[in-house]
A and B are shown apart, each in its own frame.
Chain A
C-alpha cells in the first residue's frame, strides 16, 4: 500500500507501509519504539535512538512551524507539469520534521519562517488508483 504515497513513489516496499493506509483514513502516524519509547516522524521500522527493530504506530497532531521553504521552478521527472510548486519544511510539535507542498490555504506572500502550519493528510482519487500524501496548511484553514 505504500505505493500510494507521493506523486512519484520510488520506495513502494517498506516495513512502515501501513503509514499510507492510516493517511488514507485521515490519520497522521509516527512510529514509537517498543523498547525505548522513542517517537519518530516520519516513522522508522528501526528506532533511531536505540536501533531496536519493533515499533507501533501512534498518532501525531501534525502541528508545526515553518523551518524553511523554496519554490521549485526547475522540476524533476514526474513534476514537470505541476511546477512551480512550493516545498516547506516544518518542525513538528511532537518532534521530527515533514517536507511537503505548501497547500492552497497558505498564499506564498504570507510565508514566513516560524509561522504555524498544519500537516494535513490528503487523499487523491486517480483514474486507476489512489494516491495519498500530506500538505502544509494554515492551522485555521486545515481540513482533516
Chain B
C-alpha cells in the first residue's frame, strides 16, 4: 500500500479521576465517539491496537478485555507499549499495518486507569522508572530525572525558574478552556511557586498528574478514508527514534536525541520544516520537557526555549502555538491515552473544530510523544487537503 493513511474518526473521554468507570468502559466511551465521528460502524474495523502501560491498572493483558467489551472478537488486537509514548507507538503500529497492506481500517485506543492503584503500588512503581541496576538503587525518580535535565539546561543556557513556571501558566490557561481537561483552572506564578518541592528545582506545579482516561483514532487507507463523514487528516510524516534508558550513558542532558531524530524523519517524510507547523501538541510531562521540545522540534534554536515561552511565542498568535489543549500538565496524563489524545487535538485543529482554542489557518500540525526521559520518541506531522 503506497497511498496515504488518514485519520477518519476521533473520540476522547474526559481525563481525570474517573471513579465511575473501568478501563474497558473508558475505552468504549472513546471508541463509540470515534465511530460516530467517522460514520463507520464497528464491523468495519479490521483490527484494534491498544496503547497502554500494563503496570498502571489492575487488569492485565488489556487488549483481550477491551476487544471482548467492544464486541470485536475475533478481529485481531494487540498491545503496543513504549512507556508514556505508548499511545503514539500504537498509532505507529496501526499505520504500519495499513502501509503494509495487511489492514484497511484500524482503530487505535489509548487508555489507562491509573487511579485504581494504591499509593503503595504507585510508590513501588515510582522506584523503578529508571534503569534499576545502577540508578533506582539510589532512589532516582521520574521528576528527579527531568529535574536534572532542567538544572543542566539552566546552567548551559541561562533558562530560568520563571520561564519554567511560564510553561505551567500557559498550559493551565488553555486547560481552563478544554472541557476534557483534568484541571480547568488558570494558575498564577505565586500559586505555582508556593507548591511543595518534588525534586529541585521542581515544585508540584512543574509536574503533570496521573489520571484516568481514553482516546481513540480510526485510521484508514487512502481510498477508504475518503467520502466518510469528515474529510481525512493525513498522517504525512511519521518519525520514531530511541535514546539510552540511563542518564549514565546519555550524551546530553539538555535535549532529547530521540526527539531530534524523530522530528527530522517526520519533517522529511512530510516534506515540511518546523516553520511550516501551525500547531503542536508536545509531551510536557514536566515544564522543562516542553522547553526541550521547542528546541528539539526546531520551533526555536537550541538554548532559546526559555525565551520562546517568556515571549509568549507558544500561545495562539505566537509563532508556533503549543499545547493549546492544556498539554499533559493541565489535561492530565493517563499514560497510554496521552499520545492518542495529542493526535485527536491536532485533528480537531486541522478540521477547524477546536472552538475557542482554535489556531487560525491550522493546516499543518505536529505531535511529539515521549516515553520516559526520551528512551522513545514519536513525532507525527499531520496535514489536511486544501
Contact = CB atoms under 8 A, between A and B. Distances in A.
Contacts of A100: 138
Interface string B292-307: 0000000000000000
A29 interface: no
Contacts of B127: 8, 10, 76-79
B155 interface: yes
A98 B229 CA distance: 56
B148 A87 contact: yes
Most buried by A among B139, B140, B141: B139
B199 A42 contact: no
A14 B133 contact: yes
Contact of A75 (B132, B134, B141, B149): B141
Contacts of B201: 70
A101 B138 contact: yes
B124 A76 contact: yes
Contacts, number: 112
A76 B148 contact: no
B22 to A, nearest CB: 26
A68 B151 contact: yes
Contact of B123 (A76, A89, A113): A76
Contacts of B202: 70
B138 A99 contact: yes
A10 B155 contact: no
A59 to B, nearest CB: 18
Contacts of A77: 120, 123-124, 126-127
Given A71-B197, A71-B200, A76 B141 contact: yes
A70 B253 CA distance: 13
Interface string B141-160: 10110011101100100000
Contact of A6 (B137, B141, B147, B198): B137
Chain A interface helix/strand/loop/mixed? loop
Nearest to A88: B148
A8 B139 contact: yes
A87 B138 CA distance: 8
B190 interface: no
Given A42-B248, A97-B247, A68 B139 contact: no
Contact of A71 (B137, B199, B247): B199
Contacts of A99: 134-135, 138, 140, 247-248
Interface string B197-221: 1111110000000000000000000
Size range of the chain A interface in the assembly: 35 or more
A74 B138 contact: no
Contacts of B138: 6-7, 87, 99-101, 133
Interface string A105-118: 00000000100000
A8 B123 contact: no
Contact of B199 (A14, A72, A96): A72
Nearest to B155: A113
Interface in A60-103: 67-80, 82-85, 87, 89, 96-101
B137 A89 contact: no
B138 to A, nearest CB: 6
24 contacts: A6-B137, A6-B138, A7-B138, A10-B127, A11-B133, A42-B133, A68-B151, A68-B152, A69-B151, A70-B151, A71-B200, A73-B198, A73-B199, A76-B139, A77-B120, A77-B127, A79-B139, A87-B144, A87-B148, A89-B148, A97-B248, A99-B138, A99-B140, A99-B247
Given A76-B139, A87-B144, A89-B253, 16 more contacts: A7-B137, A8-B136, A10-B128, A10-B137, A42-B134, A68-B155, A70-B151, A74-B141, A83-B139, A87-B138, A87-B140, A87-B148, A89-B248, A96-B248, A99-B134, A113-B155
The 8 closest A-B pairs by CB, nearest first: A6-B137, A76-B127, A79-B139, A10-B132, A70-B147, A76-B126, A68-B152, A77-B123
